[in-house]
C-alpha cells in the first residue's frame, strides 16, 4: 500500500532528479542515510561507481566531508568529472580498491550499496570497514537476497544474503544491528533493470511509488549497524 503523504514528500525531494531516480537503490540509500548525515563529519562510500549517490549527498550536505572509493578507473574518472561539474569541494575520490592500503580512518559513517556480494572475503572486508569507523560509527549496507532472477549478475561472487546470515555475519564482526528490512516493494522488484522499456520519468514515478510503499517484499536488504 502506498503512503500518499510519503509519496508527495519523496516527489518534492527527488522530482527534479529523474536521472538519479533511475535506480531504486539510490533512493533507498539516500533515505536511509539522510537522518544520520547532519551529525556526520566524515562519510565514506565504498564502490561509488560513477558517483550518482555520493555526489547527490555531497551537494545536499555541504558541511560534511565525503570520500568516494571506486576501484574501476573508468567509473572513477566519471565520478571526478561529475564532482567537478557540480563544483563539489567536500568530496574526495579514491580511485583504488578499499583494502588495507586505504589510509583514512575515523569515519562517522560508511556505506556500500550492492557491493558486499562482489567481495570474495566478506569477513575481511567487514573487519576492514570496522577498522575505518570510529567507535559508535555507523555502517549502511544494501545487498540482494539469493534466488531472485532480477538481481543475478555475473559479477556477483555469491547470490546474495538472507537476513539471518547477514545479521550473524555483522554481529560476529563487531557490529550491533540498528535496523534491518527488505527495501523493495512489488513495483520495485517487477521493474528492476527495466530502463530499456520505460521512459526516465516513468521509471522515476514507479520508483518513488515503490519507496512510499509500506508493504515490502523479499527482495534486497537494507541494514544499518553500529560499530561496537
Q: What is the pLDDT of residue 175?
A: 98
7: CB partners within 8 A, 6+ apart: 208, 209, 212
Helix (H, G, I), strand (E, B) or coil at 203: helix
Q: Is 93's pLDDT higher than 80?
A: yes
pLDDT tens-digit series, residues 131-161: 999 999 999 999 999 988 778 888 899 999 9
Predicted confidence at residue 154, as pLDDT, reads 84
Name 65's bridge partners: 42
* Global pTM value: 0.94
Rounded to 10 degrees, what is the CA torsion of 61, 17, 216, 173?
-40
Q: Tens of pLDDT along 180-196?
A: 999 999 999 988 876 66
Instruction: Please give the CATH number for the structural domain made up of 4-227.
Output: 3.40.50.150
The yes-or-no verdict on residue 54 having pLDDT over 90 is yes
Distance (Å, rounded) from C-alpha 53 to C-alpha 71? 16
Contacts by 12-16, CB closer than 8 A, 24 or more apart: 14/204, 14/208, 15/204, 15/208
Amino acid at each position: 500500500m502506498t503512503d500518499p503523504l510519503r509519496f508527495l514528500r519523496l516527489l518534492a525531494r527527488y522530482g527534479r532528479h529523474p536521472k538519479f531516480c533511475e535506480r531504486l537503490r539510490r533512493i533507498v540509500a539516500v533515505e536511509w542515510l539522510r537522518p544520520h548525515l547532519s551529525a556526520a563529519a566524515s562519510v565514506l562510500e565504498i564502490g561509488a561507481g560513477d558517483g550518482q549517490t555520493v555526489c547527490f549527498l555531497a551537494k545536499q550536505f555541504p558541511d560534511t566531508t565525503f570520500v568516494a572509493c571506486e576501484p574501476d578507473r573508468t567509473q572513477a574518472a566519471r565520478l571526478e568529472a561529475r564532482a567537478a561539474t557540480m563544483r563539489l569541494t567536500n568530496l574526495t575520490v579514491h580511485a583504488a580498491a578499499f583494502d588495507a592500503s586505504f589510509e583514512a580512518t575515523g569515519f562517522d559513517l560508511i556505506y556500500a550499496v550492492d557491493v558486499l556480494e562482489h567481495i570474495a572475503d566478506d569477513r575481511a572486508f567487514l573487519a576492514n570497514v570496522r577498522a575505518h569507523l570510529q567507535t559508535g560509527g555507523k555502517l549502511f549496507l544494501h545487498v540482494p537476497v539469493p534466488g531472485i532472477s532480477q538481481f543475478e549478475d555475473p559479477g556477483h561472487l555469491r547470490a546474495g544474503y538472507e537476513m539471518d546470515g547477514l545479521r550473524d555475519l555483522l554481529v560476529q564482526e563487531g557490529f550491533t544491528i540498528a535496523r534491518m528490512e527488505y527495501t523493495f516493494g512489488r513495483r520495485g522488484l517487477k521493474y528492476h533493470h527495466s530502463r530499456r522499456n520505460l521512459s526516465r520519468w516513468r521509471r522515476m514515478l514507479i520508483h518513488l511509488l515503490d519507496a512510499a510503499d509500506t508493504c515490502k517484499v523479499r527482495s534486497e536488504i537494507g541494514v544499518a549497524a553500529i560499530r561496537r
